[in-house]
Protein backbone atom coordinates (compact mmCIF):
# COMPACT_ATOMS: atom_id res chain seq x y z
CA UNK A 1 0.00 0.00 0.00
CA UNK A 2 1.21 3.52 -0.76
CA UNK A 3 1.91 5.52 2.38
CA UNK A 4 0.79 9.14 2.13
CA UNK A 5 3.57 11.56 2.97
CA UNK A 6 1.23 13.91 4.82
CA UNK A 7 3.03 16.89 6.31
CA UNK A 8 1.06 17.90 9.42
CA UNK A 9 3.35 20.93 9.82
CA UNK A 10 1.24 22.53 7.11
CA UNK A 11 -1.80 22.40 9.41
CA UNK A 12 -0.38 22.50 12.95
CA UNK A 13 1.90 25.29 14.04
CA UNK A 14 2.79 27.20 17.16
CA UNK A 15 1.56 26.00 20.54
CA UNK A 16 -0.88 23.22 21.37
CA UNK A 17 -2.80 22.04 24.42
CA UNK A 18 -4.21 18.65 25.33
CA UNK A 19 -8.01 18.81 25.24
CA UNK A 20 -9.10 17.50 28.63
CA UNK A 21 -12.77 17.31 29.60
CA UNK A 22 -12.22 19.84 32.39
CA UNK A 23 -10.91 22.38 29.89
CA UNK A 24 -13.68 22.09 27.30
CA UNK A 25 -16.14 24.64 28.76
CA UNK A 26 -13.30 26.98 29.73
CA UNK A 27 -11.84 27.10 26.23
CA UNK A 28 -15.30 27.52 24.74
CA UNK A 29 -16.12 30.44 27.02
CA UNK A 30 -12.81 32.19 26.28
CA UNK A 31 -12.66 31.42 22.57
CA UNK A 32 -11.66 34.45 20.51
CA UNK A 33 -10.26 36.33 23.51
CA UNK A 34 -6.67 37.50 23.80
CA UNK A 35 -6.10 35.39 26.90
CA UNK A 36 -5.97 32.16 24.89
CA UNK A 37 -4.58 33.53 21.63
CA UNK A 38 -1.52 31.27 21.86
CA UNK A 39 -3.52 28.05 21.74
CA UNK A 40 -3.05 27.19 18.07
CA UNK A 41 -3.94 23.49 17.98
CA UNK A 42 -5.37 20.76 20.22
CA UNK A 43 -4.56 17.12 20.90
CA UNK A 44 -7.00 14.33 21.71
CA UNK A 45 -6.67 10.61 22.47
CA UNK A 46 -8.75 8.81 19.83
CA UNK A 47 -9.65 6.11 22.37
CA UNK A 48 -11.63 8.75 24.27
CA UNK A 49 -13.60 9.99 21.25
CA UNK A 50 -14.16 7.11 18.80
CA UNK A 51 -17.84 6.29 18.86
CA UNK A 52 -18.69 9.40 20.86
CA UNK A 53 -22.25 10.56 20.52
CA UNK A 54 -24.62 13.12 21.95
CA UNK A 55 -23.03 16.06 23.72
CA UNK A 56 -19.52 14.62 23.33
CA UNK A 57 -19.79 14.52 19.54
CA UNK A 58 -21.23 18.04 19.61
CA UNK A 59 -18.27 19.21 21.68
CA UNK A 60 -15.78 17.54 19.36
CA UNK A 61 -17.45 19.08 16.31
CA UNK A 62 -17.23 22.52 17.95
CA UNK A 63 -13.46 22.21 18.40
CA UNK A 64 -12.84 20.65 14.99
CA UNK A 65 -14.57 23.64 13.39
CA UNK A 66 -12.27 26.09 15.18
CA UNK A 67 -8.88 24.43 15.80
CA UNK A 68 -6.52 22.04 14.03
CA UNK A 69 -6.66 18.77 15.99
CA UNK A 70 -4.14 15.91 16.18
CA UNK A 71 -4.54 12.44 17.69
CA UNK A 72 -2.16 10.96 20.25
CA UNK A 73 -2.95 7.34 21.07
CA UNK A 74 -2.68 5.42 24.34
CA UNK A 75 -3.23 1.72 23.67
CA UNK A 76 -1.60 0.61 20.41
CA UNK A 77 1.16 -1.22 22.35
CA UNK A 78 3.76 -1.11 19.59
CA UNK A 79 6.17 -3.16 21.70
CA UNK A 80 3.61 -5.69 22.93
CA UNK A 81 3.75 -9.43 22.24
CA UNK A 82 0.15 -9.86 21.08
CA UNK A 83 -0.71 -9.15 17.43
CA UNK A 84 -1.62 -5.55 16.75
CA UNK A 85 -5.28 -4.72 17.24
CA UNK A 86 -6.08 -4.32 13.56
CA UNK A 87 -9.77 -3.60 14.10
CA UNK A 88 -8.83 -0.72 16.41
CA UNK A 89 -6.37 0.70 13.87
CA UNK A 90 -9.12 0.56 11.26
CA UNK A 91 -11.37 2.46 13.66
CA UNK A 92 -8.63 5.07 14.05
CA UNK A 93 -8.34 5.32 10.27
CA UNK A 94 -12.08 5.95 9.92
CA UNK A 95 -11.97 8.49 12.73
CA UNK A 96 -9.07 10.40 11.16
CA UNK A 97 -10.75 10.42 7.77
CA UNK A 98 -14.18 11.35 9.11
CA UNK A 99 -12.82 14.36 10.97
CA UNK A 100 -9.99 15.24 8.56
CA UNK A 101 -7.38 14.89 11.31
CA UNK A 102 -3.93 14.86 9.68
CA UNK A 103 -1.82 13.12 12.31
CA UNK A 104 -1.83 10.11 14.63
CA UNK A 105 1.05 9.46 17.03
CA UNK A 106 1.76 6.75 19.58
CA UNK A 107 4.29 5.83 22.27
CA UNK A 108 7.42 3.79 21.66
CA UNK A 109 6.43 1.40 24.44
CA UNK A 110 4.08 -1.45 25.26
CA UNK A 111 0.96 -1.44 27.41
CA UNK A 112 -0.54 -4.91 27.04
CA UNK A 113 0.20 -8.47 28.12
CA UNK A 114 -2.88 -10.65 27.96
CA UNK A 115 -4.88 -7.48 28.57
CA UNK A 116 -4.21 -3.77 28.94
CA UNK A 117 -1.81 -2.84 31.74
CA UNK A 118 -2.81 0.85 31.98
CA UNK A 119 0.82 1.89 31.94
CA UNK A 120 3.37 2.66 29.22
CA UNK A 121 6.30 0.29 29.71
CA UNK A 122 9.72 0.54 28.05
CA UNK A 123 10.96 -1.71 25.27
CA UNK A 124 14.41 -3.33 25.71
CA UNK A 125 16.98 -1.67 23.48
CA UNK A 126 17.95 -4.69 21.37
CA UNK A 127 18.50 -5.36 17.67
CA UNK A 128 15.63 -7.85 17.71
CA UNK A 129 13.30 -5.25 19.24
CA UNK A 130 14.23 -2.70 16.55
CA UNK A 131 13.06 -5.00 13.77
CA UNK A 132 10.01 -6.17 15.71
CA UNK A 133 8.73 -2.72 16.59
CA UNK A 134 9.58 -1.23 13.18
CA UNK A 135 7.57 -3.98 11.51
CA UNK A 136 4.57 -3.19 13.74
CA UNK A 137 4.86 0.52 12.96
CA UNK A 138 4.98 -0.28 9.23
CA UNK A 139 1.93 -2.53 9.59
CA UNK A 140 0.07 0.32 11.31
CA UNK A 141 1.11 2.77 8.60
CA UNK A 142 0.04 0.35 5.87
CA UNK A 143 -3.43 0.06 7.39
CA UNK A 144 -3.78 3.81 7.93
CA UNK A 145 -2.25 4.70 4.57
CA UNK A 146 -0.11 7.38 6.22
CA UNK A 147 2.93 7.74 8.42
CA UNK A 148 2.54 7.94 12.18
CA UNK A 149 4.72 9.65 14.77
CA UNK A 150 6.29 7.71 17.61
CA UNK A 151 7.04 9.32 20.97
CA UNK A 152 10.22 8.66 22.95
CA UNK A 153 9.07 7.14 26.23
CA UNK A 154 9.99 7.76 29.86
CA UNK A 155 11.29 4.81 31.88
CA UNK A 156 12.47 3.97 35.36
CA UNK A 157 14.32 0.64 35.16
CA UNK A 158 16.93 -0.34 32.56
CA UNK A 159 16.27 -3.67 30.83
CA UNK A 160 19.24 -5.95 31.60
CA UNK A 161 19.14 -7.39 28.06
CA UNK A 162 19.54 -4.00 26.34
CA UNK A 163 22.37 -3.90 23.80
CA UNK A 164 22.51 -0.17 23.04
CA UNK A 165 21.57 3.24 24.39
CA UNK A 166 18.19 4.93 24.03
CA UNK A 167 19.18 7.31 21.23
CA UNK A 168 20.67 4.55 19.07
CA UNK A 169 17.51 2.47 19.52
CA UNK A 170 15.17 5.38 18.80
CA UNK A 171 16.99 6.41 15.63
CA UNK A 172 17.16 2.84 14.34
CA UNK A 173 13.42 2.26 14.82
CA UNK A 174 12.52 5.54 13.09
CA UNK A 175 14.82 4.84 10.16
CA UNK A 176 13.69 1.25 9.62
CA UNK A 177 9.98 2.07 10.01
CA UNK A 178 10.26 5.31 8.00
CA UNK A 179 8.00 7.04 10.50
CA UNK A 180 7.89 10.46 12.16
CA UNK A 181 9.14 11.46 15.60
CA UNK A 182 6.83 12.85 18.26
CA UNK A 183 9.51 14.38 20.47
CA UNK A 184 8.83 14.49 24.21
CA UNK A 185 11.15 17.04 25.80
CA UNK A 186 10.21 16.16 29.38
CA UNK A 187 10.81 12.44 28.78
CA UNK A 188 14.38 13.19 27.68
CA UNK A 189 14.95 15.08 30.92
CA UNK A 190 13.23 12.46 33.10
CA UNK A 191 15.34 9.66 31.62
CA UNK A 192 18.52 11.70 31.88
CA UNK A 193 18.01 11.99 35.65
CA UNK A 194 16.82 8.40 36.10
CA UNK A 195 19.77 6.94 34.18
CA UNK A 196 22.43 9.59 34.73
CA UNK A 197 23.12 10.90 31.25
CA UNK A 198 23.38 14.37 29.69
CA UNK A 199 19.95 15.39 28.35
CA UNK A 200 21.44 18.01 26.02
CA UNK A 201 23.85 15.47 24.54
CA UNK A 202 20.98 13.11 23.72
CA UNK A 203 18.94 15.97 22.30
CA UNK A 204 21.75 16.94 19.94
CA UNK A 205 21.58 13.48 18.34
CA UNK A 206 17.85 13.57 17.64
CA UNK A 207 16.97 13.20 13.92
CA UNK A 208 15.42 16.65 13.70
CA UNK A 209 14.12 16.15 10.15
CA UNK A 210 11.69 13.57 11.57
CA UNK A 211 10.17 15.82 14.28
CA UNK A 212 6.48 16.41 13.65
CA UNK A 213 5.68 18.09 16.96
CA UNK A 214 6.75 17.97 20.58
CA UNK A 215 5.37 17.53 24.08
CA UNK A 216 6.46 19.43 27.15
CA UNK A 217 5.16 18.63 30.62
CA UNK A 218 5.83 18.54 34.32
CA UNK A 219 6.83 15.53 36.38
CA UNK A 220 6.96 14.31 39.98
CA UNK A 221 10.26 14.06 41.86
CA UNK A 222 10.18 10.85 43.87
CA UNK A 223 13.83 11.31 44.93
CA UNK A 224 16.86 13.24 43.63
CA UNK A 225 17.60 10.48 41.13
CA UNK A 226 14.06 9.28 40.34
CA UNK A 227 11.56 11.36 38.37
CA UNK A 228 8.10 10.10 37.40
CA UNK A 229 6.45 11.40 34.23
CA UNK A 230 3.05 12.32 35.69
CA UNK A 231 2.07 15.39 33.63
CA UNK A 232 0.68 16.65 36.91
CA UNK A 233 3.06 19.47 37.86
CA UNK A 234 4.39 22.69 36.38
CA UNK A 235 7.23 22.45 33.86
CA UNK A 236 10.57 23.04 35.62
CA UNK A 237 13.42 25.28 34.46
CA UNK A 238 15.77 22.53 33.14
CA UNK A 239 12.98 21.27 30.87
CA UNK A 240 12.27 24.79 29.61
CA UNK A 241 16.00 25.14 28.92
CA UNK A 242 15.97 21.88 26.99
CA UNK A 243 13.09 23.14 24.83
CA UNK A 244 14.97 26.38 24.18
CA UNK A 245 18.04 24.38 23.19
CA UNK A 246 15.95 22.24 20.82
CA UNK A 247 14.62 25.31 19.00
CA UNK A 248 18.11 26.76 18.85
CA UNK A 249 19.50 23.59 17.25
CA UNK A 250 16.62 22.50 15.05
CA UNK A 251 14.42 25.55 14.51
CA UNK A 252 10.93 26.01 15.88
CA UNK A 253 8.48 23.10 15.68
CA UNK A 254 4.91 22.82 17.04
CA UNK A 255 4.96 22.15 20.77
CA UNK A 256 2.10 21.02 22.99
CA UNK A 257 1.67 21.38 26.73
CA UNK A 258 0.54 18.16 28.42
CA UNK A 259 -1.35 18.36 31.70
CA UNK A 260 -3.21 15.21 32.74
CA UNK A 261 -3.36 15.46 36.55
CA UNK A 262 -3.92 18.26 39.04
CA UNK A 263 -5.31 20.35 36.20
CA UNK A 264 -5.56 24.00 37.28
CA UNK A 265 -8.01 26.51 35.80
CA UNK A 266 -7.25 27.40 32.19
CA UNK A 267 -6.45 30.95 33.26
CA UNK A 268 -3.56 29.52 35.31
CA UNK A 269 -2.49 26.89 32.79
CA UNK A 270 -2.27 29.44 30.01
CA UNK A 271 0.90 30.92 31.56
CA UNK A 272 2.83 27.84 30.40
CA UNK A 273 1.21 27.97 26.97
CA UNK A 274 2.35 31.59 26.70
CA UNK A 275 5.86 30.64 27.82
CA UNK A 276 6.16 28.13 24.97
CA UNK A 277 5.06 30.88 22.58
CA UNK A 278 7.61 33.31 24.00
CA UNK A 279 10.48 30.82 23.55
CA UNK A 280 9.32 30.10 20.00
CA UNK A 281 9.29 33.84 19.28
CA UNK A 282 13.03 34.03 20.09
CA UNK A 283 13.81 31.88 17.06
Q: How confident is the model at residue 154 (pLDDT cuts 50, 70, 90)?
A: confident
Question: pLDDT tens digits, residue range 87-132?
Answer: 999 999 999 999 999 999 999 985 545 555 445 667 789 999 999 9
pTM: 0.93
Share the mean pLDDT of the chain.
Answer: 91
Q: How confident is the model at residue 257 (pLDDT cuts 50, 70, 90)?
A: very high
Q: Would you say residue 46 lies in a domain?
A: yes
Q: How many domains does the chain have?
A: 1
More confident position, 80 or 37: 37
C-alpha span between 181 and 79 (Å, rounded): 16
Question: pLDDT tens digits, residue range 13-41?
Answer: 999 999 999 999 999 999 999 999 999 99
pLDDT score for 231:
80
Q: Would you say residue 3 lies in a domain?
A: no
Question: pLDDT tens digits, residue range 188-210?
Answer: 999 999 999 999 999 999 999 99
pLDDT score for 75:
83
Q: Would you say residue 21 lies in a domain?
A: yes
pLDDT at 213 over 80: yes
pLDDT score for 112:
43
Q: Would you say residue 84 lies in a domain?
A: yes
252 sits in the region (left: phi over 0; alpha: psi -120 to 50; else beta) called: beta
Q: Would you say residue 155 lies in a domain?
A: yes
Terminal-to-terminal C-alpha distance of the chain: 39
Q: How confident is the model at residue 244 (pLDDT cuts 50, 70, 90)?
A: very high
C-alpha span between 258 and 154 (Å, rounded): 14
Q: Would you say residue 250 lies in a domain?
A: yes
pLDDT average, residue stretch 75-84:
86
Domain CATH code at residue 146: 3.20.20.150
Q: Would you say residue 2 lies in a domain?
A: no
186: CB partners within 8 A, 6+ apart: 154, 215, 216, 217, 218, 219, 229, 235, 239, 258
For the chain, percent of residues with pLDDT exceeding 90: 77
Q: Which domain holds residue 79?
A: 8-282
Amino acid sequence: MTIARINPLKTIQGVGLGLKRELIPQIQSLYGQDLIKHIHFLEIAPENWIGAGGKYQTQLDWFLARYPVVCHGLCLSLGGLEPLNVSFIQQVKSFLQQHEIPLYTEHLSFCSDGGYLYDLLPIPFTEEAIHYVAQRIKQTQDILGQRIGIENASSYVAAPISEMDELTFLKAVIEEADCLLHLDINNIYVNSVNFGYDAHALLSGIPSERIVYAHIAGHYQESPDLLVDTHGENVIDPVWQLLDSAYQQFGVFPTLLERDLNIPPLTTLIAEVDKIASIQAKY
